Structure 1
Amino acid sequence: MAETLTLETPRDGVTVIRLNRPDRLNAINEAMRDELRSACAAVGADASVRAVVLTGTGRGFCSGIDIRDFGPGMLEADDPAIDRLRFQEAMAALPLAIEAMPQPVIAAINGPCVGAGLALCLAADLRIACTAATFGNAAILLGLSGAEMGMSYHLPRIVGTTVAADWMLTGRTVDAEEADRRGLVSRTVAPADLFDTAVDTAATVAALAPLGVQMTKRALQTNVDAASLAAAMEVENRNQVLTHATDEAAGRRQKWKD
């Protein structure tokens, strides 16, 4: 049993991964780091799961790395550089694990979303925030680079280079209204409505043809860096050929004809 996560199945085909250290605003310690990576791999390999919601317990989504009580794996500045690199790579593996899941991942941001927590939500495919959510790049405030865990890759692609530079260089707190206005989240809802909204969205996706959904996710991930429109269309054309030949697609086409 996981110490720092809970997994729920509120609807058919929908799994909720909930960060569960509410007394620390779901800060990532060593156990959560390892358990989240394992959970992403296990859920990703489960064909019965067609959409995933990632959220936090209590009043926070994730307040970043738990620098006060991370666990025995925390390193010091005078530790060998190779060991500190491995530590950073282990943290950076978390957004990679989220992005590698074949199912769409919806981040339901229920409160502070800071540092490593921001990196987790950026790796999701959709982000829905409650009006009490806040966002921040905390590393820059600790004397570190504001570019970590994929943030300098994801954030400019989502909100644009200038806005990303503002947030990453200042480390200032961004409220839900600004996050919505800048396109970081697809919508904001009242705190009491967040979980149901995220699960309803996930259920809508889960009800669609799994291969079509997964090919759409892959195309979005690939084509954000496409060299040209023609290159992007090559991916799209192949995806359409693959999905067109499935029995499920044939059945859905027939319903449109009837």
Structure 2
Amino acid sequence: MTEHDGTADTGWTTLRLDRPLAGVVVLTLDRPDRLNAMTDTMFRELETVALALDRAEGLRVLVVTGAGRAFCAGYDLADAEKLTSLGAMGMLDLQERAARALAALRSIRVPVIAAVNGAAAGGGLSLSLAADIRLAAPTAKFNAAFVRIGLSAGDLGASWLLTRLIGPAATAEFVYTGRLMEAAEAERTGLVNRLVPADELLDAAVEMAGLICANSPGGVQLSKRALQANMEIGSYAAALELENRGQALLTRAEDMPEALEAFRHGRAPVFTGR
């Protein structure tokens, strides 16, 4: 991955990109003085970066985290006063731009790991939900307090993703009260996969990314496609059909024969993703 794939490490005003391992990119929300709160600029940059990363040939795993003491505090309240003056269509345009940014991140073909290092509130909660896997520091806090400011918890995919992670009843209680969910409860309810000490969080996310990178790129990518698609498919038969096609496709690629050959000879496979 180079500057030619549109993912240069510099040139962004709200984001930072780092590459700690081959095939692994860490995307950091980089507005620590504002608790990495979201702005229209961040939405534009996030969508652009996500689309570019999805086209980056060598990408295997994306890690998303926040600079400083927060993951993301949601929409920047310094910009919120202008929202009521935008008009219905202007507000819809902003909302759709934000939704496109998170949808682009969620639909990246490779696994996305959120390293939630602090508060994930409002749109920041939605951003963490857009990841496939969430690791959290004990200092992480989650909040969907849209109702406290006269808005709906149906925001940036939260209403759809939360119910699938923690269940409809737990989601209803969480969003109707607008309360904080501490890290321990988030782990217990399944909102996060596991807790990691704060000073080890990013290393743990990169280590997990490395474990994923050791596997067949095509197998991982089609696994993600099957998992996401089957969240939206309403029947067992349709899920089987999707799985059958994915498995048939992968047997035509190079990685499965390589894995079998490596197993026969007692060596580690060399995956190419071709």
Structure 2 length as normaliser, TM-score?
0.90
Instruction: Report the equivalent of 2:72.
Output: 62
How many angstroms apart in 1 are the aligned matches of 2:204 and 2:181?
A: 22
Counterpart pick for 2:219 among 212, 217, 223 = 212
Does structure 2 conserve the Cα–Cα contact (< 8 Å) formed by 1:147 and 1:168? no
Amino acid in structure 2 at the alignment position of 1:65: Y
Q: Is the partner of 2:16 in helix, strand or coil?
A: strand
Identity %: 40
How many angstroms apart in 2 are the aligned matches of 1:48 and 1:121?
A: 24
Aligned residues: 255
Counterpart pick for 1:110 among 84, 106, 117 = 117
Q: Which has the higher contact order (CA 8 A, sep 6+)?
A: 1
Is 1:239 the counterpart of 2:246? The answer is yes
Counterpart pick for 1:148 among 119, 140, 155 = 155
Instruction: Report the equivalent of 1:50.
Output: 60
Counterpart pick for 1:162 among 153, 169, 172 = 169
Post-superposition shift, 1:76? 3.5
Instruction: Report the equivalent of 2:47.
Output: 37
Q: Is the partner of 1:3 in helix, strand or coil?
A: coil
Instruction: Report the equivalent of 1:223.
Output: 230
How many angstroms apart in 2 are the aligned matches of 1:76 and 1:256?
A: 59
How many angstroms apart in 1 are the aligned matches of 2:105 and 2:212?
A: 17
Deviations 1:91-120 (A, max 9, x none): 112221111211110000000000000001
Post-superposition shift, 1:78? 4.3
Does structure 2 conserve the Cα–Cα contact (< 8 Å) formed by 1:64 and 1:117? yes
Q: Is the partner of 2:83 in helix, strand or coil?
A: coil
Does structure 2 conserve the Cα–Cα contact (< 8 Å) formed by 1:75 and 1:84? no
- Structure 2 segments unaligned to the other structure (5+ residues): 1-10, 266-274
Does structure 2 conserve the Cα–Cα contact (< 8 Å) formed by 1:15 and 1:53? yes
Counterpart pick for 1:16 among 26, 36, 45 = 26
Structure 1 length as normaliser, TM-score?
0.96
How many angstroms apart in 1 are the aligned matches of 2:255 and 2:59?
A: 17
Counterpart pick for 1:182 among 189, 192, 200 = 189
Does structure 2 conserve the Cα–Cα contact (< 8 Å) formed by 1:50 and 1:210? yes
How many angstroms apart in 1 are the aligned matches of 2:139 and 2:77?
A: 24
Does structure 1 conserve the Cα–Cα contact (< 8 Å) formed by 2:40 and 2:98? no
Deviations 1:148-185 (A, max 9, x none): 11111111011100111111111100001000000011
Counterpart pick for 2:145 among 138, 148, 153 = 138
- Structure 1 segments unaligned to the other structure (5+ residues): none
Is 1:173 the counterpart of 2:180? The answer is yes
Q: Is the partner of 1:17 in helix, strand or coil?
A: strand
Counterpart pick for 1:128 among 135, 159, 171 = 135
Does structure 1 conserve the Cα–Cα contact (< 8 Å) formed by 2:72 and 2:119? yes
